[in-house]
Chain A
Amino acid sequence: MLLRNLFYLVILVLIAFVSCNDEELPPIENEEEVITDVDLIFSPVDGSTPLTFGANDPDGEGPEDMVTDPIVLGAETSYQLFIKVRNDIDNVDLTEEIKEEGAEHMFFFGFSDELFDQPEGNGNIDSRADQVNYIDEDENGLPIGLITGWQTSTGGSGTLRVVLKHQPDVKTATSGTDVGSTDIDLTFDVTVE
C-alpha cells in the first residue's frame, strides 16, 4: 500500500515538474520570410484609375495552392506597373525591404508577344538581354523592377510571368534568372481588350 502510494507520488511529482515548471510559449515572430501576397498595380500614364490584380497564397508554407487574379488591361494604353509584396498572415509589407536591398534583388518578366507593343518580344526571363522597361534602379545603377513601363497592343490574350530573384553578391548587368534563388515566381492570365 505504501509502495503504491509512493508510486503515485513519484508520478505526480513528475507531472508537476513538467507542467508547472515552464509555461512559456514560443515568442511571437513576424513572418518576414514568407511572401503570401503579391499585387500588380497597373497605373495608366494618363492618370485614370489604377487597376490592381493580386496573387494570394492563403497559407504560406501550407499545402494550399496559389490563387491569381486574371489580368484585364485596356488596349493601346501606357501603364506603369507597380509591384507590392506582403505577408498577409502577419500583416508585414515587404516591398520597402526589397527596395532597400535593391542591390541584391531583381524582377524579371516573361509574357506572350501579342500582349504588348512595348516592351517588344517575350521578356527577359529566357534571356537577360531582352527588352524590359525598368523605371527604378538600385545603388549600382542596375534595374530592380518594382516599377516598370508597359504599352499594351491592340488586343490579345496570353500570360505574364513575374520572377523575383534574390542575388546577393551576384547581381550584375548580365545576371539573369539562372542566378540566385527565387523569391517570387508567378504566372497570370492576361487579356488585352
Chain B
Amino acid sequence: MHKLFVVVLLGLTCLSIARGQTKCDKTISGKVLDISSNEPLPYVSVRVTETNTGVVTDGEGHFSISNLCEDEIHLEFTYVGYKKVVHHHDFHHDIPTILMAQEQIALEGIVVEGEQLRGGTKTLNPELFQISELQKFGNTDMSGLANAISGLSIVHTGQNIQKPILHGLSGNRILLIQQGIRYEYQSWGDDHAPGIDPGNSSSVEVIKGAGTVKYGPEAMGGVIIFNPETMSLHEPLKVTTQLSGHSNGKGLGGRISARQGFDHWSVMVNGSGNIHGDLKTPDYLLTNTGMKVWNVGTGVLYHKANTDIEFHYSRNNQNLGILRGSVTGNLDDLALAMGAEEPLYTADFNYQINTPRQEVVHDMASIKGTYYLGDHVFDLKYSWQLNQRKEFDIRRGSNNELPSIDLKLATHTLDFNWEHPRWNGLDGESGVSWLYHDNDNLPGTNTIPFLPNYNDSRLGIYSIESRNYGNQTFELGLRYDVQFTSVRGRQINNDPYYNDLVFQNLTASLGYKLEIDDKLGFSTNLGTSWRNPDVSELYGFGKHGAIIQYGLWRYEDSGESDISTSTILDESSKPVNNEVGYKWINQLKWSGNRSDWIINGYVHLIRNYIFATPRGITTTTRGAFPYFIYRQTDALITGLDAELSYLISKDMTLTSNASFVYARDIKYQNYFVEIPPLNIHSQLKRTIHGKFLDHHIALDLSYAFQKSFIPEVITPQEILDSYANGEPLFENSDQIFDFMAAPPGYLLVDLGWEASWKKYSLSLKAENLLNNTYRVYTDRIRYFAADTGINFIVALKYSL
C-alpha cells in the first residue's frame, strides 16, 4: 500500500516540466457530417480565421490543415444549404467531429470533440447515446434510455419511480455520474429513484464493465454517465424551448435551455418541469399516480490559455405519487389487494398527490479545474450534494401528514486526476479521490428511524496504464480504497447504539483490445470491484414499504424456527465481508459502411452478495407479516447483449437491440427476483423529403418475454394457509420466493412523427399504440395493477 503512494507521489514530483514552445508543427484534422443523417459531407469549406488558410473536405468528410503555429484557432465551416458553424479549437482537445445542419431545419450545427467521450478506459469503451433522439418526442424518462441501450433496464415502482438496472444490477451496485460527479442518493431502496432527468443531459454513456478502478466502489455492474450540455466558446446565443402534452395522466411538460459562448467564457442555463395526474391502464385508472417534477441547472465555463474552469449547479425536485392500492397492511390485506380485479381504492381522475408519496430534493454543485502543462493534463474537482428524502406512508390520523422516513444526505467529494504524456510507450492516468457522507434522520417522524445516522469518509488512490503494440492495446489498472464509517442509532426502545467501522479493498483491472481491421474490433476486460455492506444492510430495522426487514447486525439466527433481534451485533460477533465482484466482459464491434453492430458477453461473479430473503412470519397486533433478513451469498450473473444498426437506404435506418441476463445464487442454489427478462427492441426510422418540410417517422417495437429462471412462487394465501395448518413454509431458511408468478410476455408498439419548419418542430407520438394490457416483471406495482395504456404525446419545439 505504501509503495503505491510512493509511486504516485514520485510521479507527481519528478515531472519534467517542459513548457511547449511555439512551433509551427501543429495539425488540425476532423470530420464533417450531416446532423440529421450522419452522412459525411464532402466539399465543405474549412477556414482558419487567424491565418485565413483553408481546405475542403474529401469524399469521406475528412479535412486536415497542417503547419499551424497558434495554440488556439477558430475554424469556420461553410457549405451551401447549411448553417455556418464556427468552432474554437485548442490543441489540448481531441479531434473534432462537426455536425452541420441544413438551413431549413430547426437544429443548429454542433461540434463534438473527442473529449466528451472521456468516460471509461482504453479497453472499457462506453456506448454513447444522444439525448436529442429522446427529446424529439418530448418524453425523456429513463425508460426511453432503456429502450435504446441494450443491457440497460429499469426497476420500477409504478411509472413515476424508475431506477436503472445494468446487467442485472441496480442501486448501490452500479454508479451514476452526473455533471462528472458520483451521484450520491439513498441508493439502497428499490423504490428510491435517482433525481436525474436524462432530458437535461446532452448524451449518456454506458460503461458495461466493472468501473471500480477509475470510478471507485459501487461501480460493480457498470457506470452510467449523464453528460451535461456542452459549453463552447465563441458560440452565438442559442435558446431552445419545448412544450409537450400527454394524454395519459393529462400531463404537461416544458423545457427551456439557453447558452452562449464568449471569448473566454461560456454560460448555460436550463430548466424543465413535468406534471401529470392519475395514469390509466387500458381498463382502469391508477389512483394516486400523479407526479410533479422540476429541474433547474446552470453552468459556466472559463477558458484561458492552459486552464479550463467549469462550474455547474443543478436542483431536482420530485413529488411522486405511488399507487394507492399498492399499500397493504398484513398478509390478509396483501392477499386481498393482489386478488383484486382492479386496484383497491380506485377513484376518479385527480391531479392531487396523496399518501403514499415521496418528496425528494437533490442539489448538486461542482467546480472543476483542468490545467494543461505540456502534454500533462491535471484535473481537480470538488462537489457538494444534498439529497433530502421524505417518504409519506398511509398512517393514522395527523401522522398521515408526517413523513415516516425523513433523511438528509450531504456529500462532499474531492478528486484529483493526472493524465501523463506517453512515457516509454505508456499512456495513463493516476489520481486520488476523497468522499465524505453525512446521513442524518430529521426529527418529527413519530416512528423509530429505519436507519441509524452515519458518516463515511473514503479515500481512494488509483493508477491506470496502457500500452499499444501496433493494433493491440494492453491495459492494467490498480486502486486502493479505505473507508471509515461511524454509526449512531437508536433501538426500538430509543436506547442508543454506536459503532465505528473500517472497510478497505484493493481492486485491479486487466484489459486487452485488438483492432482486427478498420471495421472489426475486439476488446476484453477483467475487472474486480467492491462495495462495503451498506448501513441499511447492516442496521436497517423494521417496516420499510410493505415488508419488515432486519439488517445483518440486527438479528441472530440459531437455525431454529425463530430468530432473535434483542441484541445489536458488530464485526466481532458477526463478521460481514465486503461484496467483491469479478466481471469479465468481451466486446466485438463492427463499424461498416451500411451496418454497425456490437455484441457484449459477460460473466460476473460476486462474492458475499448481500440480499434480503424471507425468513419467517411474525404475528403482531396487526396480524401476520412475513419478515425478511439480509444475508450474504455468492452470485453468478452472466448475459449477452447486442445492438445492430443497418442503413437500409439513404433515408431509412433499422436499429435493433436485445439483452439476456441469467443470475443465480450459487451458494444456496436459488434464482433471484427482479432480474430483467429477455427483451428485444427494434426501431425503423424513415425520413421523407417533402416539398416544404422534411418528415421523420419512427416505428418502435419492443417485446419482453416472460421471465424464466425465477424463484418459487408462494402466494400470501398459501403462506396464511400453511401458518393456519401449523406447517410453516419457511422451515428451510435458504429459500427465496416471489409472491406472484412472472407476468406473460408482451408487445409494445410506439409510432412517432416529427416535422420541422424553419425554427419550429412539431412531433406526435403514440405510445403503446395497441393499448395492450401488460405488467412489467421488474415493476413492484405488478402485484397490484397493470401498466399504463395508450398515451399520445404532442410536442412543439422552438429554437432561437
Contacts and interface: CB of A to CB of B under 8 A. Distances in A.
B133 interface: no
A65 B619 contact: yes
Interface stretch (B166-174, B208-216, B389-397, B787-795): B389-397
Given A25-B490, A29-B448, A61-B543, A184 B622 contact: yes
Nearest to A27: B443
A179 B627 CA distance: 24
- Provide the main secondary structure of the chain B interface: mixed
Contact of B447 (A6, A18, A32): A32
Interface stretch (B102-110, B248-256, B323-331, B365-373): B323-331
Given A35-B621, A61-B492, A64-B618, A97 B448 contact: no
Interface stretch (B223-231, B310-318, B560-568, B647-655): B560-568
A183 interface: yes
Interface string B402-431: 001000000000000000000000000000
Interface string B542-581: 1100001010000100000011111000000000000000
Given A4-B2, A185-B330, A26 B452 contact: yes
Interface in A25-48: 25-38
B621 A38 contact: yes
Contacts of B566: 59, 62
B496 A25 contact: yes
Contacts of B671: none
Contacts of A55: 621
A11 B482 contact: yes
A81 B548 CA distance: 32
Interface string A137-161: 0000000000000000000000000
Contact of B332 (A34, A100, A182): A182
B446 A100 contact: no
B486 interface: yes
B446 A61 contact: no
Contact of B620 (A23, A61, A94): A61
A22 B455 contact: yes
A18 B459 contact: no
A74 B545 CA distance: 44
Contacts of A28: 490, 494
A107 to B, nearest CB: 13
A110 to B, nearest CB: 12
Contacts of A32: 396, 399, 446-447
B492 A24 contact: no
B400 interface: yes
A37 B622 CA distance: 11
Interface stretch (B433-441, B699-707, B740-748): B433-441
B404 to A, nearest CB: 7
B562 A64 contact: yes
Contacts of B330: 182, 185
B449 A29 contact: yes
A10 interface: yes
A126 B43 CA distance: 83
B448 A25 contact: no
A80 B493 CA distance: 34
Contacts of B623: 182, 184-185
A181 B394 contact: yes
B46 to A, nearest CB: 50
B494 A90 contact: yes
Contacts of A186: 621
A66 B500 CA distance: 35
Nearest to B562: A63
Interface string A58-74: 01111111100000000
Interface string B605-626: 0000000000010111111100
Contacts of B562: 63-65
Nearest to B618: A63
Contacts of B500: 18-19
B17 interface: no
B440 A24 contact: yes
Given A26-B453, A33-B446, A184-B622, A62 B565 contact: yes
A170 interface: yes
Nearest to B621: A35
B618 A10 contact: no
A167 to B, nearest CB: 10
A117 interface: no
A98 interface: yes
Given A31-B492, A89-B493, A66 B620 contact: yes
Report which residue of B397, B399, B548, B620 has the largest number of chain A beta carbons within 10 angstroms of its beta carbon: B620
B644 to A, nearest CB: 48
A23 B440 CA distance: 11
A165 to B, nearest CB: 9
A166 B621 contact: no
A136 B587 CA distance: 72
In the A-B complex, the 7 residue pairs with the closest CB atoms: A185-B623, A27-B443, A181-B329, A182-B329, A101-B397, A26-B441, A32-B446
21 contacts: A14-B457, A25-B453, A25-B490, A26-B453, A26-B488, A27-B442, A28-B494, A29-B447, A31-B492, A35-B622, A60-B492, A61-B543, A61-B620, A63-B550, A65-B619, A89-B493, A105-B396, A168-B400, A181-B394, A182-B622, A185-B332
Interface of B: 1-2, 5-6, 9, 327-330, 332-333, 336, 344-345, 394-397, 399-400, 404, 436, 438, 440-449, 452-453, 455-457, 459, 482, 484-486, 488-490, 492-494, 496, 500, 541-543, 548, 550, 555, 562-566, 616, 618-624, 627
